[in-house]
A = this chain, B = another copy of it.
Amino acid sequence: MFESAELGHRIAKADYQGIVPELRKSLLDVQFDVQQNSPLRIIVVIAGVEGGGKGSTVNLLNAWMDPRLIETHAFDQSLSVSLKEPAFHRYWQCMPPRGRLAIFMGAWYSDLIEAHVSGKLRKGDFDRKIQAIINFESMLTHESTLILKYWLHLSHAEQKKRLNSLAADPDMSWRVTEAGWHQLKHYETYRSTAEHCLRLSSTGENPWVIVEGVDERYRNLTIGQHLHDRIKEAMVRPLDNKRIQAPPLLSPIDHRSILDTLHLDNELSRQDYQKQLGILQGRLHNLLRSEEFKKNHALITVFEGNDAAGKGGSIRRITQALDARTYRVVPIAAPTPEEKLRPYLWRFWKNLPDAGHLTIFDRSWYGRVLVERVEGFCSTADWMRAYDEINQFEHQLAESGIIILKFWLAISADEQLKRFQEREQTGFKRFKITDEDWRNRNKWDAYAEAVNDMVDRTSTQTAPWILVEANNKYYARIKVLSALCDHIEKQLK
List chain A positions with a Cβ less than 8 A from chain B. 25, 28-29, 32, 36, 55, 58-59, 61-63, 66-72, 74, 103, 105, 171, 174, 282, 289, 312, 315-316, 319-320, 322-325, 327-331, 336-338, 362, 427-428, 431
B66, A29: Cβ atoms closer than 8 Å: no
> Which chain B positions have C-beta within 8 A of A67?
315-316, 319, 324, 327, 329
Residue A29 contacts which of B103, B105, B282, B428 (CB distance < 8 angstroms)?
Answer: B428
Chain B minimum-CB-distance residue to A58: B324
| A59 touching B323, Cβ below 8 Å | yes
Given A25-B427, A336-B338, A428-B25: A71 touches B174 (CB 8 Å cut-off): no
Q: Is the CB of B325 within 8 A of A68?
A: no
Closest to A331 in B: B68
Contacting residue for A328 out of B28, B71, B315, B327, CB 8 A: B71
Q: Roughly how many angstroms separate A59 CA and B319 CA in the complex, as a whole number?
A: 8
Q: Are A324 and B62 touching (Cβ within 8 A)? A: yes
Q: Separation in Å of the A482 CB from the closest CB of chain B? A: 20
Contact A62 B319 (CB under 8 A): yes
Q: Which residues on B sit within 8 Å (CB–CB) of A427?
A: 25, 29
Extra 6 A-B pairs, beta carbons < 8 Å, given A66-B312, A171-B282, A336-B337: A25-B428, A59-B320, A59-B322, A62-B319, A71-B328, A174-B289
23 sample A-B contacts, Cβ–Cβ < 8 Å, listed by A number = A25-B427, A29-B428, A32-B431, A55-B324, A55-B325, A59-B320, A59-B323, A63-B316, A67-B315, A67-B319, A67-B324, A67-B327, A67-B329, A68-B312, A68-B362, A69-B331, A71-B328, A72-B324, A72-B328, A74-B325, A103-B324, A337-B337, A337-B338
On whether the beta carbons of B68 and A431 are closer than 8 Å, the reply is no
Please, how many angstroms separate the alpha-carbon atoms of A362 and B323 in the complex?
A: 43
